[in-house]
Structure 1
Amino acid sequence: MTIVIINTGCSNLNSIKYSIQRVGYQASITDSIHDIKIAHKIFLPGVGTAAAVINILKNKNLLSFIKNTTQPILGICLGMQLLGTYSDEGKKCILLNKIPYSIKKLPNNNCYIPHIGWNIVNITKNNFLFNNIDDNTRFYFLHSYYMKQNEYTIAISKHGISFCSAVAVENFFGVQFHPEKSGYSGEQLIKNFLEI
């Protein structure tokens, strides 16, 4: 099986690669459209601003391909937010529009922003992404923006407000948390995605 991690220029690429290795698979980090097109599974990580990652994908001629791919793809953190319509971060940034909801800043409801650290993930729909993972398991988060709960939500979390912490639509999956930093449960989720 060919597995690729799209090189979006963020700092956690090798962490994802090593997590994939720990569950028994090999992955490459690449921005080659040829390599991505022939992959069986695709990881779309993101750290930083939505506009910066969208610009990187545009400049590498990957944006249109990602929008239209039929391969299973897992967005991580900002990579999940990219599945929305647009982000309120900075100037409104148009995203992949796979899920018809915008990305908004977490409100400061008696909590620190950004949301950093371990938090409970409440599974709201059965999905193989959470096979062999208990409901209300803790995963590691680091984000300031969020997608509201919607019909594509498969898990939610709470930090001041409830927000979407995992989504699934067609061949697109997304998690707001960092599975590569979430120990055994995070690696189980990565394994589940690879074994779709």
Structure 2
Amino acid sequence: MIGIVQYGAGNIFSLCSALDRLGISYGMIEKPADFDLYDRYIIPGVGHAGAAMAKLEQTGLVAYIQKLQKPTLGICVGMQLLTAHSEEGDASLLNIIPVKTMRFADSAEYKVPHTGWNRVHSERDNPLFQNIPADTHFYFVHSYFIEYNEAYTLASTEYSLKFSASIWRDNFYGVQFHPEKSGIYGETLLTNFSKI
């Protein structure tokens, strides 16, 4: 059963709808004791990483998240929260995966935010991407990206530069794209996570 960390950082309706369609049981985590009710966790998030981190700190859940031993998936801003620092709000984050979140540079060719379907290239075998074809397209909406670091990158993509579309360290996973809005293979990824 999946516990969704509920800290007021965006609309989680699409995620809950996807889990409902897949028949994956879930509930909300709002206080430390709630972590014991679930065997894996999702940290969702949309919007501003600095503001999201401030909201997460207000919940008192930060120290508990940093010590989690069960599979944990960050989605979009939730993935960015796993990193050490974001240029968005010059914010220190959870520092679970020691990479940085940086802003795309505006250009005539590459508009910010990056919105739409992008081909995601798996860089190593991992159960999270099982039964997902190579170079599948996933749906992105973001102005900030995770710097590419081979040691922590599960999958990469390109939008003006190469960056990490998915990261991994121990029991922590992150995806910059929205699996809940990425069709059948996004749902495959959520199903995979529910079995890790």
Deviation at 1:152, TM superposition (A): 0.7
After TM superposition, the runs of 4+ consecutive aligned structure 1 residues lying more than 2 A away are: none
Percent pairwise identity: 39
Match of 1:101 in 2: 99
Deviation at 1:11, TM superposition (A): 3.5
**What TM-score do the two structures reach when normalised by structure 2?**
0.94
Deviation at 1:53, TM superposition (A): 1.3
2:193 pairs with 1:193: yes
Q: What is the CA deviation profile of residues 1-41 of structure 1, one whole-angstrom value per residue up to 9, with x for unaligned ones? A: x3111113234312111211222212113313211233101
8 Å contact 1:17–1:28 — kept in the other structure? no
Moved more, 17-26 or 145-154: 17-26
SS in 2 for 1:8: coil
Quote the Cα distance in structure 1 between the aligned partners of 2:103 and 2:111: 12
Give 5+ residue unaligned stretches, structure 1: none
**What TM-score do the two structures reach when normalised by structure 1?**
0.94
8 Å contact 2:84–2:99 — kept in the other structure? yes
Quote the Cα distance in structure 1 between the aligned partners of 2:111 and 2:28: 33
8 Å contact 2:31–2:60 — kept in the other structure? no
Match of 1:166 in 2: 166
Quote the Cα distance in structure 2 between the aligned partners of 1:5 and 1:89: 24
Match of 2:110 in 1: 111
8 Å contact 1:86–1:103 — kept in the other structure? yes
Deviation at 1:48, TM superposition (A): 1.1
SS in 2 for 1:46: coil
Match of 1:45 in 2: 44
Moved more, 72-81 or 109-118: 109-118
The 1:30/1:99 distance shift into structure 2, 3 A limit, reads closer
Q: How many residues align?
A: 194
